[in-house]
Each structure stands twice: as structure tokens, then as C-alpha cells.
A and B are shown apart, each in its own frame.
Chain A
């Protein structure tokens, strides 16, 4: 918050924040306990239970926020940079316009601290290469190893570059993030602490209007939330505008390699047993000689498994396994060759020596060739060949054996940061805008981006649940969990929309009463909670974020269901169809159809509820008043999507003027 002139001294603000957190905790706890014990209307359990669960969800969300704010940390002035660090500035691009990337690269080259600049072009575009050469910056594309192997998007792009560069530190920039010349001078100093692996700075967008209808600026996240996480040594890596220590990333890569190799070899050996049984059955049926050799391979599989269990190094175990299989194949070929030799010898004894066949020609070299893995009768059994290939330490299914950036999620940055923290590295959030980027300018693109973030975060939660990660402190676990938890808000939002509609239209009460008991517990909690937001977010705009956390409920629900389907059932994550009619046609209302339907229902419910109250059908007048107020709140929150869908970019007004 150093950008804002007036500010409360941190200590007093901190004390006030902690007081409010305690008040939220006490009042929220009091409310929810009362809700569970005395006010759930079990008669209408089908709406009463979802509502109390949704409220519990929100309360936990609030507590996790409070926990972060408890340790909010303002780093202030950074320490001076070291005199002789080596740095690579990596600009990742895939299909962004050449001019845009070149602008970023030019600014990157102009960073004051000595460094090398690289454009990491995943699109491998010749024009991009030319632009890089013209600017005198490095240009990298994927090596040949990546052909026909999983590319892992941006994580793969960075992993490829890590082996083509050699700086001690890496500044990672998205293609549109134009760096300030001081960015390295202001961040490298933190690495004097040898345990620091990461310094993240805010992402800030220059093309956003004051009203920011798409909610692109995330001042709450790139401010108090990251500062709070920083207090728990859990500041996140956000993929761009961050400096990373190469050693830390490489270490993750090595550890990950060992884990994956051991897992892969064990998996291959386990499945090998079934596979060999099948192959043996087929060989028996065909009367093939391979049966005995297959039995030897089977013994080798068991031996390898036992050796791994006994703690023998994987390279040694796999090497021995491969040799045993080769020997088995060789034995098989040798018996064929013996027969050939005998036949040739017989031919040689024939009176006519015209054939000139030399028995010695079938020598060891031929034997070697015939028993080479692809040629031997054992190798001819495809499944066995695949098995032997996968009992190895080269991770043949990946382009590189070592993948420093995590590839378990489409948000590789968060997964990587969590692994760094679990390994004992520290991270820093430096709250100063040192790069400015471009935010999406239409709702379709923005929705696509949000969906990916949500899906990625939930993928990490499902694959590597932070709550059970060894090496993380409890504070860190909860900081990661908090972000993942917040993406589940779609289900709660659905209940918050449905409950008042059902009450107003049908008089179905989810709570025993909306009377004084209810309000006297709820309102104090809501007031302190909003006060906490106000104090924490003093001078920054937090309202857009609050709106979107509910208003994008269809997107959050979709993110959750697709992430679950992806992780548990291996389905593709799918994509949002981005609006192609941008700036040519009118607003694409289809993108917000669920919200429009919800708003229609809410308005209708308010009217019906009022009429019912006037005619005396409503259970209580107070209940109607509370629920109409609730509907109004919902409508105000949801209205943001209407502004968003009508938004036509920050420069739309200018270009319209130009065209008239």
C-alpha cells in the first residue's frame, strides 16, 4: 500500500484488524452454533440443510480470510540487490501478437540490473525469431525431445528453457507484462536469505477503466491477501512478475524425477506380471520357444520388485533387469543360431563348394544383432517390449526426465509454489507494482481465464491436497486451502439465490424464524465482517471481487465439476467458448444466461412475495422484509455481469469516436 499517500501506521492497524478478526470469530461462531442447534427448520430439510451448509461454507471462508489477515505483513523497502547475481529474464509467449511481445522484450532488455533476456516462443514463429534477433534478445523454442510428447503448456515452455539458460535467478514474465527498469533492483535483495526461493510482485493491468466492470484488477489478492499469506511464509507464485531461484526449482525437478521414476518403474513391474502371464499363455498356444524366456523375464520382474523393496537404487535394479531380459532374448536366439550353424555345416560338407557359405559368417556379431531388443523373438511380443522399455530410469514418456515446474495442473505456478514451501523454501511478496500488463477486454475471454484459474486450483487441491502435504506448516496448509476453498463458492451462491425465492414464492421457511432472534445474531456478525473488509482493504476496491465471487456461480460450479471429472475420471477439462462477436455484434448475453435467469426469478419472487404479504398469505411480514432485502442484495451482486457483458474494452469509446 506504499502507493497510497496517507496510511495508518501498521501497528495500530494490525491491532484493529486482529480485534475485528476476533470479533468475527466470536460472533460468527455464536451465529452458526445457534443456527445448527436451534434454528434449522427440519420440516423443510431440503432447503434448510443446504442453507445452513452454505452458511457454514461462507463462515469457514471468512475465518480463513481472518487467519491470513492475522499476520498481514508489509515488507516496506526491499534490501539492496547483490552485486554479482546472474539473471535470465524469461518472457513466455504462445500466440500473442509479435508487436506486443516485442514491446515487452524491449522493456525487459532495458531492465537496469545486468541480465540476459529470452523470448520463450511456444508457437515457434519465424517472425518472432526475427523480432528477437532484431532486438538482440535470446530466442528459445522447444527442443526436438518434445515432439509427440506431452507439452504441458506454459510449465513445459519454462521447463524447456531452464535447460537452455544458466542464470542463478529467473524473472518470469507473461508476454504482456511490461517490466519496470527497476524490477530486479527491487527484488533480488531478498535472495540474500539463502532460503528464499521466490519473490512475487503484483500483477497490475494498464488497460482497465476506473469502474473495472470485468473485475480484472485484483488489489485485494495482490495486496492484503498475499501479504497475509506472506506472514505465514505462504506467499503464492502467480506465474508472472516473479523472480525465482534456479536452484530451488531444479531441486524440485530432481526430487520429482526420483519420485516419478520409482513410481513409474513399480507400476510397470506390477502390470508386467499380468502382461507376462498373458504373453506366456499366447506363446504356449502358438507352441513358441519363447515360453522359457518369458519365464526368465517373469523371475526378473519379481527380483526387480524385491530389490526395490530392499532399497536398492532404481538405476541399478532396472539395469540388471534389462540385462536379464537381453540375456533371455539372446539365449532364445542362440538356440536358433545353433540350428542354423548345424544346417550350414551340413551344406558345407556337400561336394559342390559353390555356395561358398562360411559357417564363421554367423558369428557373434550376427547373434548380437538378432537378439537386439526390437528383433528378438521376445521383442516381437509387443507387450513385453513395452514393459522392458518402461522399466527404465529415462522417463521415456516425457520430453525431459527432469521437470522443475509442476505439471499436475493448468495452474502450474500454485502447484510449484506449494512444493517449494513443502521443501522448506521461503517466499516473499513484495508489494510494489513493477510491471504492467493487459487484462482481457471482453467477458468471454475473462470467463475463460477465470475458469482456467479455478480449474487449476481445484486440480491441485484434488491431486495434492495441501492439508496433508508433509513439510508444510499448518499455517501454510491453511493458506493454500483457503484459496482452493474460495473457489467452491458457486454452490453456496446457488443456495443464497434459491432460498429467498422459495420463501417468497411458496412461504417455505428454511429457518425457524426470520424474527428478532435471527437478526440479532446475524446482523452484528455481518457488520464486523464488513468492517474487517473495510479496514483491511482501506483505499483499495474490494467490492468487485466480492461481487464476482458470487456472480460467477455457474462458472465456479462448472470448474468444480470439470476438475473432479478430470482428476478422478481422467476427462478433459474442456473450454469455454469465447465470444467471437466481440466489438462487431452486440453484447453476448448467452454467456450470462444462468445469471439472467436467476435475476429474473429474484425479481419475480420479490413481487410475488410482496403481493402475498399484502394479501396476508406470507408466514410473517418480517420474513418477507428480510427476504426482499436479501433478494435486493443478490440482485446488486449479480448486476455486475450485466455491466460486464455490455463492456466493450477500455479503448472502445475512443475507437468509436474515431470511426464517426
Chain B
């Protein structure tokens, strides 16, 4: 399941919160949600991973696809509240060379 939060953030921003295991089953769903969110005019997307128990490479692939979608709309995709397991896969695949894990959603939203 993926929550989409648009309250209390700027009109061009949305916070997405995937719950549970972000693996090959949930990854396609995340790609879709990012796409519809960006199409809806919120091209600055923050993925809050605080409720994500587990992420595999398909999940990482969905983050990259989302990053592409957001960038092409002139926005950005950032990740926040990264749990330890996710941090491990990020560094295992070097994806932390591309995406900076932000401590909190606020920090991720903060920098324009």
C-alpha cells in the first residue's frame, strides 16, 4: 500500500509513503503512483520510507523510474527516513551515489 499525502506541503509537492515490502510486487505500483502524482501537477515528490520494512532492487528500480518521471516534469524525487535495511541496499548497489537519503521529510522538502 502507498499513502499519498498532499496536505501541509507546497502545491507542487507530494509525500508518498509505501508500507511494508517495497519489492517486485509493490514496485510497479510505486511507479504508477509517482506518474499520476506528477501528472497531477506535483512534480516534487518525497518518498517517505519510514514505513517500508524491506526494499529489493525492483524497489530501487521504481525509485529511479520515479526520479526520471519527476525530473522530466521539471521537479525532483527525494527519499527520506531511510531504515537500515534500505540503507544497506542503497550502498550495496551504490545508489547512494545518486540519491541522498534525507533524515526527515521536512529536510527533504526543505531544499529547493
Contact = CB atoms under 8 A, between A and B. Distances in A.
Contacts of B31: 163
A631 B90 CA distance: 61
Given A250-B60, A315-B76, A401 B97 contact: no
A253 interface: yes
Nearest to A249: B57
Interface string B40-73: 0000000000000000111011001101100110
A253 B93 CA distance: 9
Contacts of B12: none
B58 A246 contact: yes
A261 interface: yes
Interface string A300-341: 000000000000111110010001000000000000000000
A250 B56 contact: yes
A363 interface: no
Interface string A135-163: 00000000000000000000000000001
Given A393-B67, A394-B68, A402-B65, A254 B60 contact: yes
Contacts of B72: 394
Contacts of B57: 247, 250-251, 253-254
A315 B100 contact: yes
Contacts of A254: 57, 60-61, 64, 93-95
B10 interface: no
Interface residues of B, number: 29
Given A246-B58, A393-B98, A166 B24 contact: yes
A415 to B, nearest CB: 18
A319 B58 contact: no
Contacts of B94: 254-255, 258-259
B31 to A, nearest CB: 8
Contacts of B76: 315, 319
Contact of B61 (A163, A312, A392, A394): A163
Interface string B75-95: 011100000000000001111
A205 interface: no
B24 A246 contact: yes
Contact of A258 (B56, B77, B97, B100): B97
Contacts of A262: 97-98
Mostly, the B contact residues are: helix
Nearest to A164: B28
Contacts of A259: 94
A543 B92 CA distance: 46
A257 B68 CA distance: 12
Contacts of A195: none
Given A255-B93, A315-B100, A247 B58 contact: yes
Interface string A250-279: 110111011101100000000000000000
Contacts of A250: 24, 56-58, 60-61
A96 interface: no
Given A254-B95, A262-B97, A313-B97, 16 more contacts: A163-B61, A167-B24, A247-B56, A250-B24, A253-B61, A254-B60, A255-B93, A258-B97, A313-B100, A314-B97, A315-B76, A315-B100, A393-B98, A400-B65, A401-B64, A401-B65
13 contacts: A163-B65, A166-B24, A247-B57, A250-B24, A254-B95, A257-B95, A314-B98, A315-B76, A315-B100, A393-B67, A395-B68, A402-B61, A402-B65
Interface of A: 163, 166-168, 246-247, 250-251, 253-255, 257-259, 261-262, 312-316, 319, 323, 392-395, 400-402
The 7 closest A-B pairs by CB, nearest first: A250-B57, A394-B68, A254-B93, A313-B100, A251-B57, A258-B94, A166-B24
